[in-house]
Amino acid sequence: MAPVTTPGEQTSAETNTVAAIDCGTNTIKLMIADLPEVLVRETRMVRLGQDVDRTGRLADEALARTFAAIDEYAALIEQHPVTKIRFCATSASRDASNADVFVAGVRERLGIEPEVVAGHEEARLAFDGAVRNLRDKPAAPVLVVDIGGGSTELILGSAVPASEFSMNIGSVRMHERHLHSDPPTAAEIAAATTDVDAHLDQCPVPAGDAATVVGVAGTIITIASGVLDLPAYDRDRTDQAVIAVADVHAFTQRLLAMTVEERLALPYMHPGRADVIGAGALILDRVLRRTSVDSLVVSESDILDGIAWSLA
């Protein structure tokens, strides 16, 4: 691994090439960029948060999947003149009793210390990543909704966040906790809805104040692909797409009524997301019901971009 620095350190090299890694509950993502130019953007579905909500620890097989992806990323980083790396780990590794095993594995493979970021820092990075690259200036205040596998962040602000909160509700967590049937039963959906609503009731972010809602990350991008009825995932079509809130509600009901096999047949559905997408859609559905907007802006730029810019 080429010599790298941690955030804030200076390097004698003139290159501005940085590597950002976001390791969440369901995915691990890499961006290599000479900002603003993005050189590499990769995603692996590793389900690091498998059963963490139930067991309180990272499963051995989940760690193995994640370390294999990190090995791939280390090889990609070696191919570029990267001088700074920032590795941010989110919900699953915050909650796990054996997070030290995860930290040691990252250190061994990348030569840096991963940051198990607090919820407020995760929210700040997600807001910056989501809003920075919008072509059209959004009406303020802006509510950024970031639905992950283990947590959901709501961030309200204008140029910078004014209010943010991280909730322990995510697509993997809600699926494992409530949606056990295929497709889920009405009683299971009702239980999940009650759980999500209880967390939203405790959320201090005033979602109803939002003039614009921006949604980021894989759950929301998949939902946008469905609303747009895309023949395949198409980043150019989903990035900064504006979709009707009413269509999100309708598509959520459609997803919840489908089996996993039926979801897998959708041409834009990643296999690693098919089982948990109903729970993720339900979270988005309930968040949007707390707002007064009639449309949702979808951004392909997210916390990964925020991490990269934090190194610039």
In a domain, 11, yes or no: no
Considering only residues 267 and 148, tell me which one the structure prediction assigns the higher pLDDT: 267
Mean pLDDT, residues 230-240 taken together: 95
Residue 242 sits in the same domain as residue 180: yes
In a domain, 9, yes or no: no
Query: Can you give the pLDDT at residue 284?
Result: 98
Residue 169 sits in the same domain as residue 52: no
**Closest CA relative to residue 29, chosen from 167, 129, 173:** 129
What's this model's pTM, rounded to 2 decimal places?
0.84
Task: Give every CB contact of residue 26 below 8 A, 6+ residues apart in sequence.
Answer: 45, 46, 47, 48, 49, 148, 149, 150, 170, 171, 172, 218, 272, 273, 276
Question: Strand, helix or coil at 311?
Answer: coil
Instruction: Convert the pLDDT of each residue in 157-190 to its tens digit.
Output: 998 889 999 898 999 999 999 999 999 999 999 9
CATH number, domain with residue 80? 3.30.420.40
Give the chain's domain count.
2
Residue 94 sits in the same domain as residue 179: no
Residue 106 sits in the same domain as residue 138: no
Residue 139 sits in the same domain as residue 225: yes
At residue 106's C-alpha, the angle toward residues 172 and 173, to 5°, is 10
Residue 88's domain comprises: 17-117
Q: How confident is the model at residue 13 (pLDDT cuts 50, 70, 90)?
A: very low
**β-bridge partners, 152:** 147, 167
Query: Can you give the pLDDT at residue 14?
Result: 56
In a domain, 157, yes or no: yes
CATH number, domain with residue 243? 3.30.420.150
Instruction: Convert the pLDDT of each residue in 68-118 to its tens digit.
Output: 999 999 999 999 999 999 999 876 676 688 988 998 999 999 999 888 887
In a domain, 312, yes or no: no
Instruction: Convert the pLDDT of each residue in 132-141 to its tens digit.
Output: 889 889 999 9
